Copies of this chain bind each other. A is one copy, B any other.
Amino acid sequence: MDLNQKMKYMKMAINLAKKGINKTGSNPIVGAIIVKNKKIIGKGFHSDFGGDHAEIVAIKDAESRKKSVKGSTLFVTLEPCCHTNKKTPPCVNTIISKGIEQVYFLEYDINPNVNGNGIKKLKSNKIKVSQITLKNKLKEINRGFESIKINNRPFVTLKICSSLDSKIYSDQISNNSIGDKVQREHANNLRQNYDAILVGVNTIIKDNPKLNYRGKNNKVKQPTPIIMDSNLRIPLESKVLKNKLQKPIIFCKFSVSDRKIKTYESNKIIVIKLKKISPKNILKQLLGLNFQRVLVEGGGTVFSSFLKENVWDEMLIYYSKIFIGKSGIGLSDKMEQLNKIKGKEIDKIEKIGNSILVRIN
């Protein structure tokens, strides 16, 4: 098989993997392709936390159509697992026992229980293994999984839509639509890559957003709205609480009365009490709840608190072609101190409609 052919199969595996976005809980996004006699005989991706890994899905896919995987080649986007303290048996054992002849993988698993050991075990069982180097967007998408393993918290993107003078709200603009249609669509599209969308209660009260993905991709699993609401002030009639596809989760303080919480719970809304409503505390909860990528959409107070606690990985700011002036609410009105966002760089600038999108990470 020549290199071009190998790259083609690996790209197919990457595209398969992406189907798992927002469905894998704290697990990585993985895709697999099985090739035999120059034909694809099996395909698979990891599609739910605790479910079969991509390699196993692909093997079962082949076998369901009476194709034997003996002597075949496996293309998989992540090093196959070899550890046992988890929900599913190690994939390397199945690969070995099924007689797969060759494995091409894209990335090493950063999980210290695997990280190279999966490859070693395959090799020691006489399976040919090679890594394929390919610039791929999967790496970007798997930052959630990496963050869990490395930082012990979900991956956090801070997103802000502002004017050229960094105002994020003005009561002089209807629907608070600071950006234009193109910018709003772009910002909404981001949501398909996150399993949680976090906002402060003031954003709910001022903008009344639905916090759902409204793009063209109809296979997206809707992200879960997460609301920071210390004193449980969110109006029961808020659009986000009517969201039927994903039940929102509200975080409030211990001091909120149980009676008040019950009025929410009787509307099937999840309310979680914490001693202190802070980014770190909430991220710890979200990790426990198996979220891997959180998109923080404001407002200014929430944005500032994530910056202050330095628990974020990426920042996206849209500057739209308008000056709002002194009457607007500023992006940093709640920011007490200078922040040079050390260790992070301006990574990308892009024109989106009549706005500029700045990415820092």
How many copies of the chain does the oligomer comprise? Answer: 2
Determine whether A331 belongs to the interface, using a CB cutoff of 8 Å to chain B. Answer: yes
Contact B307 A335 (CB under 8 A): no
Contact A322 B339 (CB under 8 A): yes
Contact A354 B349 (CB under 8 A): no
Contact B319 A325 (CB under 8 A): no
Determine whether A127 belongs to the interface, using a CB cutoff of 8 Å to chain B. Answer: no
A86 to B235, CA, bound (A): 73
Contact A332 B172 (CB under 8 A): no
Q: What sequence of 0s and 1s flags, for each residue 308-345 of chain A, a beta carbon within 8 Å of any chain B beta carbon? A: 00000000010101111111101111111111110011
Determine whether A100 belongs to the interface, using a CB cutoff of 8 Å to chain B. Answer: no
Contact B319 A358 (CB under 8 A): yes
List the B side residues contacting A332 at CB < 8 Å: 165, 167, 323-326, 328
A322 to B276, CA, bound (A): 28
A360 to B351, CA, bound (A): 12
List the B side residues contacting A358 at CB < 8 Å: 164, 319, 356
Contact B346 A323 (CB under 8 A): no
Name, among A170, A321, A338, the residue most crowded by chain B CB atoms within 10 Å (CB to CB).
Answer: A338
Determine whether A157 belongs to the interface, using a CB cutoff of 8 Å to chain B. Answer: no
Instruction: Please pick, from B166, B321, B325, the residue contacting A165 in the complex, using a CB distance under 8 A.
Output: B166
List the B side residues contacting A333 at CB < 8 Å: 326
Contact B335 A325 (CB under 8 A): yes
Nearest B residue (CB) for A355: B346
Determine whether A173 belongs to the interface, using a CB cutoff of 8 Å to chain B. Answer: yes
Name, among A326, A327, A360, the residue most crowded by chain B CB atoms within 10 Å (CB to CB).
Answer: A326
Given contacts A165-B330, A338-B170, A358-B356, contact A319 B321 (CB under 8 A): no
Contact A341 B322 (CB under 8 A): yes
Given contacts A164-B166, A166-B330, contact A335 B323 (CB under 8 A): yes
Contact A346 B356 (CB under 8 A): yes
A351 to B324, CA, bound (A): 24
List the B side residues contacting A344 at CB < 8 Å: 321
Contact B325 A339 (CB under 8 A): yes
List the B side residues contacting A328 at CB < 8 Å: 332
List the B side residues contacting A165 at CB < 8 Å: 166, 330-332, 335
A41 to chain B, nearest CB (A): 47
List the B side residues contacting A360 at CB < 8 Å: 321
Contact B319 A326 (CB under 8 A): no
Besides A165-B330, A325-B337, 12 more A-B contacts (Cβ < 8 Å) are A164-B358, A166-B166, A172-B338, A321-B341, A321-B346, A322-B339, A323-B339, A325-B335, A325-B338, A330-B330, A346-B351, A346-B355
Show the binding face of A for B, using Cβ within 8 Å.
164-167, 170, 172-173, 304, 307, 317, 319, 321-328, 330-341, 344-346, 349-351, 354-356, 358, 360
A-B contact pairs, 28 of them (CB 8 A): A164-B166, A164-B358, A165-B330, A165-B331, A165-B332, A167-B332, A172-B338, A304-B325, A321-B344, A321-B346, A321-B360, A322-B338, A322-B340, A323-B332, A323-B338, A323-B340, A324-B335, A325-B335, A325-B338, A326-B333, A326-B335, A326-B336, A327-B336, A328-B332, A346-B351, A346-B354, A346-B355, A349-B350
